[in-house]
Amino acid sequence: MNHDPVSGETHRMLSCRVACWHSRISPPFLWFILLILVFPAHCLAGEGKPINITVAADHTKANGEPWDGIPSLGAGRGPAVPILNKDVPPDLAVCVVRLEAPPECSMRYVELKQYSICQNSYDCIFERVSIPDGPFGLIILDLDFRRHDLVGFLLMTAGKALTIDQRAALESEIRRRADQLAPPFSQEEKQRRLREMLVVPMDRCAEVKGCRLVQSEIRVNSAE
């Protein structure tokens, strides 16, 4: 058998180059490569086309209270009479809910604090929101520093119909995530959240038609 006299030297040179190249890679860069290889396969599979979501919140909560601030007190003779300040708009955000994954919320972060992309506004357009290619939940929030308020939630379907078990599982996840993101502040609020959830095909909430919730209205359209 013939042997190449330089094959051993070549092998050592290649090994050295690989080892030297590997030594120059920082640990963060290795993690980045790992995420590129693993993350998309788990999280990006089955993604639908991005959508734009327009939210128009009512000027007060369902119980007549303002979204932000506290009721002002009327001055005058006799006992002070509370007068609701109805001119304080909410700080809106939307969160997409899917099974076995944390919610993906459209908002701004400044020094770990959460802010709406439409501060102090009854209307907000959230552009290019990522959604799955199947059913998903949508939670609408009013962001506050101490405790977020729940504006509303619903379950949107796309494509084939949900089975009873699939619908029950996703509804349960939407309610659970809503309670985590915006804990209910009263027994009345807890009961309100237990009402039958709105389940609609996504195209029914098209830009012209819209879908009416208890405290808001939403419209969706393709972002492409």
| Model pLDDT, residue 128 | 96
204 in Cβ contact with 210 (< 8 Å): no
| Model pLDDT, residue 155 | 97
| Model pLDDT, residue 48 | 80
For residue 177, the surrounding DSSP H or E stretch is helix 164-181
From residue 37, give the alpha-carbon distance in Å to each of 25, 44, 102, 131, 157: 17, 12, 20, 21, 30
Burial of 60 (0-12, 13-18, 19+ CB in 10 A): middle
Q: Which two tokens stand for residue 126?
A: 């959230």
Write the pLDDT tens digit of every residue in 46-102.
678 899 999 999 999 988 889 986 544 433 334 444 454 556 899 999 999 999 899
Residues lower than pLDDT 70 in the chain: 1-46, 69-87
